[in-house]
Amino acid sequence: MTTFFACLLDIFPGFLHLSSLSPIPPPKSYVGNKSAVFPLQVLGLDVDPINSVQFSNHTGYDVCKGDVLEGVQLLKLVEGLEANGLLSGYTHLLTGYIGSPSFLHAVVQVATKLKALNPGLQYVCDPVLGDEGKLYVAEALVETYKTQVLPLADVLTPNQFEAEILTGIKIQSESDAQRACLLLHAHGPRTVVVTSAAFRGGHGTSWRAPDMCRLVVPRIAGAYTGTGDLTAALLLAWLYRDPPRGLPEVLEKAVATVQAILKRTYEEGGGDAELRLVQSKQDIERPRVEVTAERLRQPTDIKGVIFDMDGTLTKPGQIDFGRIRSRLNIPENVDILTYIGQMSSEGDRVAALAVVEEEELRGFVDVQLQEKAEEVVAWLRGERGMQVALATRNNPKCVDVLVDRCAFRLPSCPVEASSVETPPTASFHPVLTRAWKSEVDVDKLLDVCEQWGLPPESVLVVGDSLEDCQWAHLAGMKSCLIHIGADHTLDTLRSGYVHTVIESLGELQTLLGGDLHVNEGGPGER
């Protein structure tokens, strides 16, 4: 059986034109552009194909003659298009096999230029690196994909081996595949489809995104070339043609076409024949869906949520931590509060904390909430009937400012006080501030569970840092990291402390609305 894993964070709208950058072999080989352009045209897209290699045939044959094109050749073509005012008309970019480092660097330049000319342009990247444990390209290209190409891509379609190479995760289970999807999202692509994932064992549980699905199809005997190019093109075409239906339906149509073509190819030519692409025109136009995608969504057992404040409920960057470090001469790689706590003089500690408090309040003068922060908290407390707490390393005065400026309400009792019952009008109870939070002390988190009468495993901690997730893990709670982006590296997500990832607080409603469940395996699950 072959499993397709897909994770969608956004769908792009349809446009009028499409540009494709991938190889075009001659007629004897249905790979690269030869495999991608025909289905794109059949589905109504105008395509301008550009070669990255010009080979006599694909490399699966005993002999392969031809040239690997260099970046300068691509840039010359683009210069000609630009000189004639033609670049702004492109709305999509599709890349596949790229044989030389210079060509890949040129692709980065072209993608950047096209996105600058048309901010709505969608880049679909099939990162053709290899398959079944074997690299097709030079090692240098792998790092370029990781650091330069993926941040530009909107849709990414690696096979299992390529996903492993790009993430460093050996995919041996569904959990591994799900984790790989989230790691790839951290690089930038909002839609990730891992194709041809084959492994033994059950489905397991792992990280989830707001819209993740799987599709399992029977494996057709044989070794076929060009299926990755074909799949990427079909995904692009159906996302373009039918965006409102969502990724599962798009995946079903693309896979239905691929399966029909492979069946025809096997029946007419055996397991090593060239794809019967032209003969399958009707299957491209009107795919017969026989296997449906399964959304990986299940109800949660989460009964309480603990929010971090700065960077989680409020927008990040409002407190100038660089200024704090500068005023107190604190090194970049040292935690500010830990550094202050280790000062030998109590007077120095008090003075340093006064500086921190001054800068915190300066940052909260015009405090801005994350989008939907108030609505999500009200929804959790009201419609969902959940317990909600606030745990922050900021001082209580920042909490007061937040409440004064926003629609949040606090209990009438002191913020650090314990109470078995949460006042019905309170947005957060209890509220924990700077006094409690450190890397090793999680007793206060457990006290929250005791107040609520909930086991730790039914409580979700939502924060914007790895430390928030570490504290949740130490307390036996679930963790949710908000904001995939430059602040969260692959190493952060690989740490094992992050159970699920969201890009906005609004996605928390999907996470806790019965549509999604978090990883129950926790750190160490591979």
Burial of 382 (0-12, 13-18, 19+ CB in 10 A): exposed
- Judge whether 129 and 141 are in contact, CB under 8 Å: yes
CA distance 244 to 109: 31
Torsion angles phi and psi, residue 482, rounded to 5: -95, 140
The size of the chain, in residues, is 526
CB 413 within 8 A of CB 433: no
Q: Say if residues 236 and 94 touch (Cβ distance below 8 Å).
A: yes
- Integer Cα distance of 193 and 413 in angstroms: 50
CA gap 117, 420 in Å, rounded = 58
Q: Count CB-CB contacts under 10 A for residue 279.
A: 12
> Is 229 annotated as catalytic?
yes
Q: How far apart are CA 483 and CA 468, in angstroms?
A: 13
Contact call for residues 508 and 462 (beta carbons, < 8 A): yes
Angular region, 487: left φ>0, alpha ψ -120 to 50, beta rest: alpha
- Strand extents, DSSP E, 76-190: 92-95, 122-125, 130-131, 134-135, 155-156
Q: Residue 172 is encoded by which pair of tokens?
A: 């041996």
Q: How many CB atoms lie within 10 A of CB 85?
A: 8
Alpha-carbon span 469 to 522, nearest angstrom: 11
Q: Mapping DSSP to helix (H, G, I), strand (E, B) and coil, where does residue 295 land?
A: strand
Q: Are strands 66-68 and 53-55 parallel, antiparallel or unpaired?
A: antiparallel
Mapped onto helix, strand or coil, the DSSP state of residue 218 is coil
Which one is catalytic: 154, 176, 211, 229? 229
Q: Residue 262 half-sphere exposure, CB side, CA atoms within 13 Å? A: 21
- Helix pair angle (396-405, 346-363), 10° resolution: 10
Compute the C-alpha angle 149/155/159, nearest 5°. Answer: 85
Question: Do 414 and 326 meet the contact criterion of CB atoms below 8 Å apart?
Answer: no
DSSP symbol at 441: -
Q: Which two tokens stand for residue 392?
A: 């922050």
Other beta carbons less than 10 A from residue 513's beta carbon: 14
Distance CA 470, CA 475 (A): 9
CB atoms within 10 A of CB 427: 25
In 3D, which of 248, 237, 263, 264 has the Cα closest to residue 297?
248
Catalytic residues: 229
